[in-house]
């Protein structure tokens, strides 16, 4: 029962993060979703694209994090962690991921504006030239979210496991 609650907490956290993140990035550059992603949703509406891709792109992250976190928090003879005790580390992970994505997105935008990076074909030809820097800002922000979220998720799992040794 407790492990299922940890899994649900992780799922809601990841999907919630994905929706908020994609609502923002869809407004920065809707072409990142409408051109840069498979045409699953026949729309250019940033709200709908952000909602749909926010769920599709993060549910599996929540599942992986949830399984790992449930094991770290509950498996074995060590004193278990409660679901409530995991809210704070998960929120910290989400905030760190969000801030990293924002900063790296700005870096990607600045590099694109200075022509230090550029879109490659065939995407370059499909995205309007005046949107290239914004597209790359979104790309860098999304890659940062996956990287920081994944590494940070592993760190949270390790810290939760280790905290059970100290209890």
Yes or no: say if 31 and 136 are a contact pair by the CB < 8 Å rule: no
Query: Average pLDDT over the chain, rounded to whole?
Result: 96
pLDDT given at position 167? 57
Range of the domain at 59: 2-166
Number of domains in the chain: 1
Q: How far apart are CA 22 and CA 140, in angstroms?
A: 13
Q: How far apart are CA 134 and CA 46, in angstroms?
A: 14
pLDDT given at position 152? 97
Yes or no: say if 33 and 19 are a contact pair by the CB < 8 Å rule: no
**pLDDT tens across 116-126, in order?**
999 999 999 99
In 70-81, which positions are buried (b, 16+ CB within 10 angstroms) versus exposed (e)?
bebbbeeebeeb
Q: What is the pTM of this model?
A: 0.93
- As averages over each run of 10 residues, the pLDDT of the chain (167 residues) reads 93 98 98 94 93 96 96 94 96 98 98 97 96 98 97 97 84
pLDDT given at position 165? 85
pLDDT given at position 37? 93
């Amino acid at each position: 029962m407790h492990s299922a609650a940890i899994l649900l907490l992780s799922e809601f956290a990841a999907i919630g993060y994905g929706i908020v993140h994609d609502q923002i990035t869809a407004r920065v550059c809707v072409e990142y979703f409408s051109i840069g992603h498979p045409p699953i949703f026949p729309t250019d509406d940033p709200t709908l694209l952000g909602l749909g891709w926010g769920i599709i792109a993060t549910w599996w992250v929540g599942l992986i994090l949830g399984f790992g976190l449930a094991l770290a928090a509950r498996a074995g003879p060590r004193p278990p962690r409660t679901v409530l005790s995991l809210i704070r580390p998960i929120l910290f992970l989400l905030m760190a991921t969000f801030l990293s994505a924002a900063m790296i997105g700005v870096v990607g935008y600045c590099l694109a504006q200075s022509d230090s990076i550029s879109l490659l074909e065939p995407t370059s030809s499909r995205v309007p030239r005046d949107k290239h820097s914004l597209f790359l800002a979104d790309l860098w922000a999304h890659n940062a979210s996956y990287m920081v979220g994944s590494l940070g998720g592993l760190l949270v799992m390790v810290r939760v496991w280790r905290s059970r040794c100290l209890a």
